[in-house]
Amino acid sequence: MVPAQIVIFGATGDLTARKLIPALVDIARLGLVRFPVQVLGVGRRAITTEQWQVELEKFLSPEQRSIWPELAPNMHYIDIGESTSADFAALKTKMDDLAGPFINTVGRLYYLALKPSLFLPTVDQLAEHGMLASDELRIEGWRRVVVEKPFGTDLPSAQWLNIGLRKHLRENQLYRIDHYLGKETVQNILAFRFENAIFEPIWTREHIEHVEISVCEQVGMESGRGGYYETAGALRDMVQNHLMQLLCLVAMEAPIGLDADAVRAEKIKVLRALEPYRDPKDVWDNVVRAQYGAGDQSQRGYLDEDGVAKASQTETYVAIRARIHNWRWNGVPFLLRSGKQLAKRYTDITLHFRKPPADLFAGPGGIARGLKPNGLTFRIQPDEGIRIKFLVKQPGHGHVLREASLGFDYRALFTSDSPPPYQRLLLDAINGNATLFIHGDETEAAWRFADSIRSGWSAPGAPACWRYPAGSMGPVEADALLRGTDGGSWGQGD
């Protein structure tokens, strides 16, 4: 059988050790590929293949270590030095030697686990040494490149990155990865919507009052992340990629199929229908940015973190009231939020349905007022599942209603755990399935929206970051974005 080679740039980094290699070991352990896979780690540290293997083994589970002796001979390391032309020539020679008699048919997946400034120089060198050329019509001898986020820092940089990558690669060779799309519940949104006829007819503005997408994190600036976060902030780090992808899956129309082109075409339509903010006041009225301050449990504030400027206006929390201008969603607010150092860690997507036109149980002897309308929640983490909330009558005299729910979680319904996101995404990249990866046009459309927010924040008179205590659920000012909705408060991850 013709082998595949996976070439990981940034082979001594944390992502490789904690995510990529364990995912590849599980792919092999579970027999998910039908051909031999060789892994070549590329880094700048002067270590041997044996030393690299020892370092990697420390991050494997007991089940993974059981087959490590069988897989380790296929794990190779090469020191690429200063990444000169001669270094890349040596890399090509090493890859060709490992391919042996399959040199003309081996498939190659290049994974760029690098800082973004190295994406284009690395691809340029691969192209210069003939390591990217492949025949679009051939199944064997394929060449693919996986690019980690961030995909630029604004629209111009994203466009420049796409131009540079497409100079050497076709779009179907590019795999822009977002690990959120590998989560089982995220993938299940499409199945839930389009394979259950009882839900799709009510997935419209006539029945849905608003949609809430929350990505709440308890972590702060651990492991010295303050310096990085100063250059990113919550808008760049979470909203432009993760939350935009979740929004697309909720809001998109039914694709004509589940192939990559069909699914990504519908996601692009959603992002192009997402209205950028018209002017600074539009931003100030519909976006809240905030920083965490000191908490009640000796949690220090963001401005006291290492690597953070004392007068920093970098947001650790952002809440957005977004508008999608199309036939299905016009007039339905999409409320997005993400923050650090919050009271709970969870990611939810909740569709809040409208109340009935007549409240029959609010008359004499009835208690219905104050109860929230029906809701459908997709819990993406930590416990993956789906829940529907509705109202029922309590036993006894009168017409007293209370909230109830139905739902399921993956652990209760299925005997096996959901595969880790990187396992699913790496397997798809090896097999050439780009459905769960991001098209270049998606990245640019998402940056247009994000840049309209950043423009409002940098305008004269823009309000400064609000504050919220570490360990809370964010600033109270974000509640104003729920104006006009029943309930008028964000979910609490219950």
Q: Are strands 75-79 and 37-43 parallel, antiparallel or unpaired?
A: parallel
- CA dist 261 to 142, 251, 438, Å? 18, 17, 11
What are the residues whose beta carbons fall under 8 Å from the beta carbon of 485, sequence distance 6 or more?
Answer: 209, 210, 333, 352
User: What span, in angstroms and rounded, lies between the C-alpha atoms of 74 and 70?
Assistant: 8
3-state secondary structure 143-180: EEEEECCCCCCCHHHHHHHHHHHHCCCCHHHEEECCHH
Catalytic residue among 76, 210, 242, 439: 242
Give the DSSP H/E element, type plus range, for residue 423.
helix 421-431
Q: Which tokens is 178 given?
A: 């977002």
Phi, psi of 281 (to 5 degrees): -65, -35
Q: Is 210 a catalytic residue?
A: no
Residues 269, 379: Cα–Cα separation, whole Å: 25
Burial label, 457 (beta-carbon count in 10 A; 0-12, 13-18, 19+):
buried
Q: In whole angstroms, what is the distance from residue 392 CA to residue 403 CA?
A: 6
The type of residue at 151 is F
How many whole angstroms separate alpha carbon 479 and alpha carbon 148?
34
Question: Pairing between strand 143-147 and 346-353?
Answer: unpaired
Q: At residue 195, what are phi and psi to the nearest 5 degrees?
A: -115, 5
CA angle 315, 317, 323 (to 5 degrees): 105
Q: What is the dihedral of CA 454, 457, 459, 465, to 10 degrees?
A: -160
The rounded distance, in Å, linking the Cα atoms of 83 and 38 is: 22
- Going by the DSSP 8-state scheme, the letter that residue 435 receives in this structure is T
Q: How far is CA 177 from CA 150, 182, 206, in A?
A: 9, 9, 35
**Residue 111 structure tokens:** 């994974």
Alpha-carbon span 299 to 472, nearest angstrom: 11
The one-letter amino acid at 405 = S
Assess contact for 47 and 79: CB atoms under 8 A: yes
Active site residues: 242
